[in-house]
Amino acid sequence: MTSLATLLQYIPYMLEGLIWTFTLVSGGLLLGFTIGLPLALAEVYGGEYTRTLVKCYIWFFRGVPLLVLLFLFYWGVFPSLGLKLAPLSTSIIVLGLRSGAYQSEIFRSAIQAIGEGQILAAEALGMNRLQAILYIVIPQILRIAIPAWSNEYAIILKDSAICFTLGVAEILTRARYVVITTGVALIPYLIAGVSLMILTYFGVKVLDRIYSRVKIPGLGVSLP
Amino acid sequence: MKNSDIVLRAVDLYKSYGTVKAIDGVSLEVTRGETKVIVGPNGAGKSTLLKCLNLLIKPDKGRIWLEDVEITNSKTDICKIRQKIGFVFQEFNLFNHLIVLDNVMIGLTKVKKLSKEEAFKRAQEVLELVGVERSLWKRYPAQISGGQKQRVAIARALAMDPIIMLYDEPTSALDPQFVGEILEIIKMLSRNGLTSLIVTHEMGFAREVADEILFMYRGRILEKGPPTQILARPKYEATKRFFKEINRLYGAGG
């Protein structure tokens, strides 16, 4: 039986994994945002052809399990394109592509919540579509979408643990290593779980705080 | 051009939604300084017609001119044209994320490319003209009453210096206590010589403000004439029925 002291030794090593977790999450969210926002705009304002393409993208990345996506891209797609990507880069890209699908759904419903009237008003003033989107739509959806977006943060944070399958040195990978080395499972996995929970909690709190600061006064978009 | 005092002219407009003919061959002219009022039952195509006039809705057929520029010509820059056509919506359609002042200024800074100072000066003028109190200028649309919202919406349109104003049922979404004040503002602007085309159900107002009333029915302009004539001696049974109904609903048009 391994002593508690031995386990304690591993704690800094495990917590270092949170840096990798954080990299996965922020990289995935950022890439997802860059993909999701244009996709949502294309889906709402684009022609029929564009709309179908966007729908296909969304269904693919929402429909295929994350684990399958990771294997598919790491061993399938990237190698066949002649790309040699590290597990970390692959994981960020896959998390990002997938989050892009989910984020586009978030932004799409935010666009629909604004309604058509304000776009008509912008166009009646002489703005073109692009100006209306830039000055009227985007500033509003970025605010409206925050509550749903914070949910996406919580989801992608937890999903990032699956990247252990590619050997990314995030917290679960490290916990598993400690379990194998020491033969004790309870404490390392508990530490991994609780630290992800704490990250979820603080991230969501921070986004709540941001939301209450930037939300449009008087407009009741209530938190779920 | 010989018709230099005609501000807006539409010839033979058609618009269908599926099998429903929303506009079924409408022609109209609005002369400089004139105020025309369009009345008619719900579903007659009044709103659709108004939105066709600045191409917020694209008509299937027909041509429209603003002064001597044909706006239905595909080479015409419609954004340039729309700057000159003030449009006031039934539902106000203020920009929710902008304070009152910015709602009025955004068209000036982003479309007309005025400097902040010039835009502010102009916004100040029009907000004062339509009677939006200074204490409300920093409020967001969701924080002011319906009557104030419609004032701001009118100010936003006026700020662009339009040569014609189109009002699409500007008081239909208002609580009754605000209707009178908004109609007063529209009347004041019209009396000051601002060319206007107004869709409304307020017959008393129409009688006071209109140089001509157009009665629209099933996508067509069934009859038109000066208020005294069309209200007192309507030619068609549909017109008579409409006025009777509207009197029952809104009172005798006081």
Quote the percentage of chain A above a pLDDT of 70: 97
CATH of residue B228 = 3.40.50.300
Q: What is the mean pLDDT of chain A?
A: 93
Mean per-residue pLDDT, A71-80: 96
Is B95 among the domain residues?
Answer: yes
How sure is the predictor about B232, in pLDDT bands with cuts at 50, 70 and 90?
confident
H-helix or E-strand containing B38?
strand B35-39
* Contact with chain A for residue B97, Cβ under 8 A: yes
CATH of residue A89 = 1.10.3720.10
Tokens of B242: 């409409």
Q: What per-residue confidence (pLDDT) applies to A218?
A: 77
At residue A83, does pLDDT exceed 80? yes
Q: What per-residue confidence (pLDDT) applies to A70?
A: 97
Is B227 among the domain residues?
Answer: yes
Q: In terms of CA atoms, which chain A residue is nearest residue B97?
A: A216
* Contact with chain A for residue B46, Cβ under 8 A: no
Domain range for A125 is 19-170
pTM comes to 0.89
CA separation for the pair B56, A33 (Å, rounded): 31
| pLDDT tens per residue, range A23-58 | 999 999 999 999 999 999 999 999 999 999 999 999
- Interchain contact, A125 vs B107, CB within 8 Å: yes
At residue B35, does pLDDT exceed 80? yes
Q: In terms of CA atoms, which chain B residue is nearest residue A113?
A: B96
**Four-point Cα dihedral B189, B190, B195, B196, nearest 10:** 100
At residue B254, does pLDDT exceed 60? no
Is A123 among the domain residues?
Answer: yes
Q: What per-residue confidence (pLDDT) applies to A217?
A: 87
Q: How far is CA A43 from each of CA A46, A50, A74, A148, rounded to the nearest angstrom?
A: 6, 7, 29, 18
Q: What per-residue confidence (pLDDT) applies to A221?
A: 46
Quote the percentage of chain B above a pLDDT of 90: 91
Chain B residues inside the 8 Å CB shell of A143 = 97
Q: In terms of CA atoms, which chain A residue is nearest residue B96?
A: A216
At residue B2, does pLDDT exceed 70? no
Rg of the Cα atoms in chain B: 18
**A124 closest CB neighbour out of B54, B80, B140:** B54
Q: What per-residue confidence (pLDDT) applies to A22?
A: 94
**B83 closest CB neighbour out of A121, A126, A131:** A126
Q: How many domains does chain A have?
A: 1
Domain range for B221 is 32-57+78-250
How close is the nearest chain A Cα to the Cα of B140, in Å? 7
Q: In terms of CA atoms, which chain A residue is nearest residue B89?
A: A121
CA separation for the pair A33, A97 (Å, rounded): 9
| pLDDT tens per residue, range B56-95 | 999 999 999 999 999 999 999 999 999 999 999 999 999 9
Is B6 among the domain residues?
Answer: no
**B82 closest CB neighbour out of A124, A135, A143:** A124
H-helix or E-strand containing A97?
helix A87-114
Is A211 among the domain residues?
Answer: no
- What is this model's ipTM? 0.93
How close is the nearest chain A Cα to the Cα of B119, in Å? 14
Q: How many domains does chain B have?
A: 1
Q: What per-residue confidence (pLDDT) applies to A1?
A: 52
Q: What per-residue confidence (pLDDT) applies to B248?
A: 81
| pLDDT tens per residue, range A105-149 | 999 999 999 989 999 999 999 999 999 999 999 999 999 999 999
* CA triple A115-A121-A122, angle to 5 deg: 100
Q: In terms of CA atoms, which chain B residue is nearest residue A117?
A: B93
How sure is the predictor about A178, in pLDDT bands with cuts at 50, 70 and 90?
very high
Instruction: Enumerate chain A positions whose Cβ falls within 8 A of a Cβ in B.
Output: 114, 117-118, 120-128, 131, 135-136, 139-140, 143, 216-219
How close is the nearest chain B Cα to the Cα of A133, in Å? 12
Strand-pair partners of B28:
B10
Q: What per-residue confidence (pLDDT) applies to B65?
A: 97
Q: What per-residue confidence (pLDDT) applies to B252?
A: 54
CA separation for the pair B119, B88 (Å, rounded): 20
| pLDDT tens per residue, range B7-33 | 999 999 999 999 999 999 999 999 999
At residue B53, does pLDDT exceed 50? yes
